[in-house]
Chain A
Amino acid sequence: MASQGTRAPRSGETVVLLGTKRGLFMLRSHDRVEWECVPAGLESTHVYNATLDQRGGRQRIFAADNGDFFGTFLRYSDDFGQTWQEPERGIQFPEESGLSLNNIWTIEPGRRSEPDVVYVGVDPASLWVSEDAGVTWSLNAGLAQHPTREQWNPGAGGLCLHTIVPDYAHPERMWVGISAVGCLRTDDNGQSWQFMNKNTRAGFMPDPYPEFGQCLHRMTQSPTQPNVLYQQNHCGVYKSEDGGENWIDIQRDLPSEFGFPIALDPGHPDTVFVIVEEPMGRFNVGENFTVYRTQDGGESWQPLTNGLPHGPGVRLGVLRHGMATDSHESCGVYVGANTGQLFASTDAGENWRVIADYLPPIYSVSVAVIE
């Protein structure tokens, strides 16, 4: 499958991958001021997620190709989207499982210490693992056979495993997020999984604090304090300081409990960004499209609007994978809207501008600095 890509990005350039309703796009810049946006293939499909894996000497883009008619495929490209390959043994459930793949939701490269390991989360909720950089894939049986699985219910997007957090400090530990099941953690390399939903609310359930059934939307880990996690939930924003054992409500004065993405500044990990929305319409609260930031680990929130659109007709939504941060000292924040704009800040959210427009609705944003 060929695409109309141009030159490969150079070392030091910042690359943003956008998964959209109609294909994958790549932006690149040497200074984060001038951006070039090019299609990167898969133009007729729903790309829910894409990521650039630079471990092990590779520069491999993985993308979730969720087609309209003829199936769902993980694909990868070693030439920045000019050609795409399928795994030799792809993500397909065993026939006897009675399950069939609906959508691929997230692709997560493993730890630096395991450069050939890649994880994928899909609907129906399951975790897939490759130990050969994406060439062959295996289903994680511990989660697929979880004793409560028959009681899991889907969210509006399906029963999707959309978030994978491999613990960089403990190689046998990982968290996953499933809608609408919540957070699960393994401490034995995926053999068994425990719920980690204490104190997170499921306001839509008869029991608002169940063991599972929460609608976790997105979760991220502090790069310096491995037991610190943040999550944007259907019902609030939460922080854990003990690896998910307990969650602390940090919603405070945010104008809505509902939102999808959450991201942090890797150089200043007490700085976290969220975008909360009207829960019914799923667009900005009020007339100002706003990113909210805490710089003290959730003690307080500031609305960031400088350069973001406002007015009575402004109704932008951002999906769970629609915000990402880069690794520059002055943190770049990238927000892709379901109206086809990519907003960027190079000063941790103080100022924003549009760096790509007229794109299909944006499903996912990921960022890398080319090594």
Chain B
Amino acid sequence: MSAPSTSEPTALVHLPAELRARTREQASIAVAGADVRAIIVALDRTFPGLRFNLCAETGELRPFVNIFVDGRNIRLASALDTPVAAGSVIHIIHSVAGG
């Protein structure tokens, strides 16, 4: 895995097992983007269709998808506009539902 060549900050994104079919079995990937929205757009370029896994057509994050930037849930920050710093670690997980 190598960081993309870009002037934007690059974050390390950890992906859940449920999306590995989409991500060609990659569990994590370095992605450049100034905020979470840009990170998702970049992920979708690499793995077409991934944006629709994470966001509804309206652009909103799906209700049972949680994204943490450096340990903080973006719903408690600026949602998809939450900024990403160089070296940030992003976790994409789904809600613990049903238990």
Contacts and interface: CB of A to CB of B under 8 A. Distances in A.
Interface stretch (B37-45, B57-65, B67-75): B57-65
Contacts of B52: 71, 90, 92
State the main secondary structure of chain B at its contact with A. loop
Contacts of B62: 69-71
Which 7 interchain pairs have the tightest Cβ spacing? A100-B56, A69-B94, A70-B53, A93-B57, A69-B64, A100-B57, A71-B53
B76 interface: no
A97 interface: yes
A95 interface: yes
A1 interface: yes
A1 B52 CA distance: 17
Nearest to B93: A69
Contact of A99 (B53, B57, B94): B57
B contact residues, range: 10 to 19
A100 B19 contact: no
Interface string A35-49: 000000000100000
A281 interface: no
Contact of B56 (A44, A68, A69, A101): A101
A43 B54 CA distance: 20
A95 B94 contact: no
A13 interface: no
A98 interface: yes
A contact residues, range: 10 to 19
Nearest to A92: B57
A224 to B, nearest CB: 42
A57 interface: no
Interface of B: 18-19, 21, 49, 52-54, 56-60, 62, 64-65, 94-95, 97
B55 to A, nearest CB: 9
Contacts of A67: 18
A94 interface: yes
A86 interface: yes
A70 B57 contact: no
B18 A44 contact: yes
Contacts of B65: 69-70
Interface string A89-129: 01011110111110000000000000000000000000000
B97 A101 contact: no
Contacts of A86: 49
A98 B58 CA distance: 6
Given A86-B49, A92-B52, A68 B64 contact: yes
A95 B60 CA distance: 10
Nearest to B63: A69
A101 B53 CA distance: 12
22 contacts: A1-B21, A44-B18, A67-B18, A68-B64, A68-B94, A68-B97, A69-B18, A69-B94, A70-B18, A70-B94, A71-B52, A71-B53, A71-B62, A86-B49, A90-B49, A92-B52, A95-B57, A95-B58, A95-B59, A98-B58, A100-B58, A101-B56
